[in-house]
Amino acid sequence: MNEDDDLARAIALSLQEANDSARSRRQSYHTEHDNGEEAQDDEERRFQENLRRATEASKHEQARNATSPAAMRPTSGAATRSFLVDRAQLEKERLARQKRLRPQVEMRDHDYDDDEVDGHKAKRQHVSLSAAVRCTNKSASSSIASRNAPVASGSNVQISSKSTGTGDDGCFWDGELRQTANMHTVPAKDTRPTFRLTEILAPKDDIEFAIVSAYVFNFPWLYDFFSRTTPVIVVAQDSQGQATLKAILPEWVKTTPFLRNGMGCMHMKFMLLFYRSGRLRIVVSTANMIPYDWRDIENSAWVQDVPKRRSPIRHDPKADDFAAALVRVLRSINVGPALDNQLKNDHPNLPLKSLEEIRTNWDFSKVKARLIASIAGKHEGWPSVVSTGHTALMKAIRDMDGKADKGKEIDLECQGSSIGTYSTQWMNEFYCSARGESAQTWLDTPKTRRAKLPYPPVKILFPTKQYVQESKLGEPGGGTMFCRRNQWEAAKFPRELFHQSRSKRGGVLMHSKMILGLYRRRSGTDTHSYSESEDEDDNEKTQGANKLLGWLYVGSHNFTPSAWGTLSGSAFNPTLNIMNYELGVLFPLRSEEEVAQMTCWERPPKKYVLGTDEPWIQSESPAFVLV
């Protein structure tokens, strides 16, 4: 059953009736002022009744079309039920279209395993009823911890002394990176400020316009976070991978980007919030728009407010700064037509009249983070290749003078929720970009030599089965962690690179996706940490606090070829193939304190004891049953 058709049927009554009533209310307010309050009360009652009927219709429609009655059983509450239903439906549709389209797919340009696309094959599984009940009982006594310690800021990654990290006006003018609030953490360990969705979207009545993107949505839940009169553009995924545009709720329009051959996924998680005061709030997160991701599992969010310019600057089509990259991202995911639709219909006075105005009308001068995007598709030629995927990461590292040369090497810790299919060639390809090394160097290396390279110094962080079992929610909480048995036991799979992923806040699993790169000095076969306390040549002593210790990526990218892309072609004519739409931000790190505060896992991570430690594989858990 098509997700858009389900939703359209579910909200049909609400959409037409509420819009008609709203127009009638605006007209009658001026002509019948004495009866205005009564009319408004009647409209409010009608709207609430329509929304209630729409929600109930959606639930009944999903129940009627489910492939298994067990799939719709009550589990551990509304959040878990929504999480299971929405993700399972998306996964079934993705698998169905891939099965249908597989004979048509051209695979010569890449070696992707389509089952590896962000690990979503496992999302067709559901928590069993008994396991969910145990999960609910186990977490009933949990409480949210206090938030009083300093937090890392997203500008120059300064350390804020305020408990909130905000300015006096409640804005995040220097940028802020935090973990999301969670009801299952260990209070003694959960001492830093966090983000709640209500805080990010506050005050909701001041939001004039919003653009929201995620892979999974619970629309009735999210709808309540916004004023009913606020126009919203939702970026999601079409079940067939087509670019579409549809009205889904009063004042809400849903747009979906094109996916080549219907494969891959629209995995970006971000928000652009335009306030009546003129400021623009940018939010890049790892969380989907469902209660589960903002309450039961740990995610990350970066928030920065940007002021409106006194007067617009001239449009520069050659710009490659944060704002220009953001405009390119919005264009690639089909936001342009959605914006035009809103302007031409009920909202001609939106604060944004064209995508280019994001850069010309708002001042991004205080944004120090770099925007890293993956755009699904085949990208050819250097200008296109270096603007997306792991080569965009390479360019951003070089732009902040982070190339690992002059005897430096870099160690990577890659933390995420899905495991990919790794070859030594792809790992070294990514590592080349992570060092800030030009992709031309990689493409000039003979293919025979590339295939024989050993694995680079990369630590892959993923939770062990034991850690999942001991977490607050137990095995039923492992529904967003994806690794397959055939991956783990493959003859050339890099099991020796695996390290434990354990939250610093204790007791929870992490849906956050981070990559930490730390430089170290290379001296023959002897290597050691590259830190501020060591003797530094090449005038590095004069750099002081500005010396780069490393960098941190935070966003939607898991450490997989599908998310970051696979490079091919020649140094003269490169090609980058990417399966997914992804988005994240890159921060420079200049102190050990910043490293400790901004990373979300226990460091140093413990290496798997092979033969004893195994990764969490949800398909082997009795808490999950196949539909």
Residue numbering of the annotated binding site for substrate: 269
How far is 491 from 423, CA to CA, in rounded Å?
11
Binding-site members are 269
Residue 70's contacts (CB-CB under 8 Å, 6 or more residues apart) are 126, 129, 625, 627
- Residue 372 φ/ψ, nearest 5 degrees: -120, 115
Which of 126, 184, 267, 511 is an active site residue?
A: 267
**Contact indicator for 394, 438 with CB cutoff of 8 Å:** yes
CA atoms within 13 A on the CB side of 196: 12
Is 267 in the active site?
yes
Residue 310's contacts (CB-CB under 8 Å, 6 or more residues apart) are none
**Contact indicator for 609, 106 with CB cutoff of 8 Å:** no
Q: What CA–CA distances, in Å, run from 353 to 208, 271, 612?
A: 13, 18, 58
How far is 131 from 84, CA to CA, in rounded Å?
14
Residue 257 preceded by cis peptide, ω within 30: no
Which amino acid is present at 91?
E
Q: What CA–CA distances, in Å, run from 105 to 110, 119, 422?
A: 11, 19, 21
Residue 203 preceded by cis peptide, ω within 30: yes
Which amino acid is present at 122?
A
**Contact indicator for 578, 265 with CB cutoff of 8 Å:** no
Which amino acid is present at 619?
S
Which amino acid is present at 341?
N
Which tokens is 329 given? 């991202």
**Cα end-to-end span (Å), the chain:** 15
Lookup result for tokens 């991701």: 293
Q: How far is CA 550 from the centre of its chain?
A: 22
Which tokens is 195 given? 């983000």
State the DSSP code for 456: P
For 522-543, the DSSP string reads EETTEEEE--TTS---TTGGGG
With residues binned 3-state (H G I as helix, E B as strand, rest as coil), the percentages for the chain, rounded to 5, are: 40, 20, 40
Is 347 in the active site?
no
How far is 508 from 463, CA to CA, in rounded Å?
10
Give the residue numbers marked as catalytic.
267, 528
